Amino acid sequence: MQSDIHPKYYPECKVFFGGEQVMTVGATVPEMHVEVWSGSHPFFTGKQSFVDSAGRVEKFQRKFAGEYFKGKNKK
């Protein structure tokens, strides 16, 4: 069996959501920053939360602006 092939394991990995520590888990990194976790997800909480989709729409419009579709064949 080979030695020293596994990553370092952190049994006290801190999970942060919105700048606040929400739980501790075992992982291969010392800390994690997440955007969604079960304590904030509408499926588990039963409440709706605001999601910034305007930034996504603007990013899509910037990406496909101009003459992106001009060279495509339209049938």
Asked if residue 39 is part of any domain, the answer here is yes
Write down how long the chain is.
75
CA proximity to 35, closest of 13, 52, 18, 53: 18
Pairing status of strand 31-34 against strand 20-27: unpaired
**33: containing domain:** 10-63
In a domain, 25, yes or no: yes
The per-residue pLDDT for 71 is 64
**Is residue 25 over pLDDT 70?**
yes
Identify the bridge partners of residue 21 per DSSP, sorted by sequence position: 16
Please list, in sequence order, all residues whose beta carbon lies within 8 angstroms of the beta carbon of residue 10, skipping any fewer than 6 positions away.
26, 27, 28, 29, 30
| 75 within some domain | no
The residue that leads in pLDDT, 48 or 20, is 20
pLDDT (0 to 100) of residue 51: 59
Could you tell me if 48 and 32 are in contact, meaning their C-beta atoms sit under 8 angstroms apart? no
In a domain, 38, yes or no: yes
Reported as a pLDDT band with limits 50, 70 and 90, residue 56 is confident
